[in-house]
Amino acid sequence: MSRRSMSILAISLIIALSVGAVAFGASKELILATTTSTRDTGLLDVLLPVFQERTGYNVKTIAVGTGAALALGKKGEADVLLCHAPASEMELVESGDVINRQLVMHNDFVIVGSPEDPAGVKGVKSATEALRKIADKEAVFVSRADDSGTHKKEKEVWNKLGFEPSGKAWYLEAGTGMANTLNIANEKLAYCLTDRGTYLSMKDRLDLVVLVEGDAILLNIYHVMQVNPEKHKVVDGQGGKAFVEFMVSEEVQEIISKFGIDKYGSPLFFPDAGKSIEDLGG
């Protein structure tokens, strides 16, 4: 093959591969800003194809921490949010940035750590008490530190204890997603506050075990809400409404109640549509 035809071949090959890079996706699209836990557990991979089939909406999932998800909603960069930081969500409800907020499901947070448990927190009933022991012992603790719902919950427990861990040498602020934070805790034989779903989905690869669970403060509650279309022209109110209705529909609640049983032996989330936070005792 001559040099010229070879170059032409190479160039046309690259052009052929490039065509379509600029092609737009489906016509109707909806931006869902959510927490990493819903993606990392695989729940959305199960739900979104069903939603797309029912409504024709192509959902773009931006999986970030809850803080970032709420910020995207407030900016009008997302149409619908699925988060787990009730107090921060209520601020947006009150400011009118989000509407139609509904309870979807819950699971719980747990404190995990290495089986050696240097601070001796295993079986401690109160999460606050457990963190106090960890702080007293100055045992290594890995925090999400990314303003996510999990991080907000962790701060809530520290606040209740009246202790500020930030800046302490044994308190590692990872600034990353849940799965990554668990990996770090696993490597460092450290303690970590995690949502049970992500922990269960990674359990096989981790040495960490659940040490503290069942305290009411550790409840992890997920709400879905749509961004107020009256605040931003670009927000798709119809699609947002459809997604909220979809998440609390009987069909989806049924899927949620079974999700994870085949793989982990127990469900990762418990469906709660129609209930109120008080019903959960949180």
Chain residues that interact with another protein, rule: CB under 8 A: 3, 6-7, 10, 14-15, 17-25, 31, 40, 45, 60-63, 75-77, 176-177, 179-180, 182-183, 202, 205-206, 232, 234
The H or E element that residue 171 is part of is strand 171-173
When the beta carbons of 9 and 87 are compared against another protein, the nearer one is 9
Query: Whose Cβ is closer to another protein: residue 90's or residue 234's?
Result: 234
- Whichever of 88 and 176 has its CB closer to another protein, that residue is 176
**Which one, 127 or 193, has the nearer CB to another protein?**
193
Tokens of 37: 């836990």
Distance CA 147, CA 262 (A): 32
CB of 205 to another protein, least distance (A): 5
Alpha helices in the chain (DSSP H): 3-18, 36-40, 43-55, 66-75, 86-95, 127-137, 149-161, 178-188, 196-202, 237-247, 250-258, 261-264, 277-280
> Residue 203 CA to chain centroid, in angstroms?
17
Question: CB of 232: closest distance to another protein in angstroms?
Answer: 6
Q: How many CB atoms lie within 10 A of CB 72?
A: 20
Least distance from another protein to the Cβ atom of residue 141, Å: 20
Beta bridge partners of 223: 83, 103
> 58: buried, middle or exposed (CB in 10 Å: 19+, 13-18, 0-12)?
middle
Min dist CB 257 to another protein, Å, is 24
Nearer to another protein, 60 or 137 (CB): 60
Q: How many CB atoms lie within 10 A of CB 18?
A: 9
CB 19 within 8 A of CB 47: no
Shortest distance in whole angstroms from residue 233 CB to another protein: 9
Nearer to another protein, 19 or 169 (CB): 19
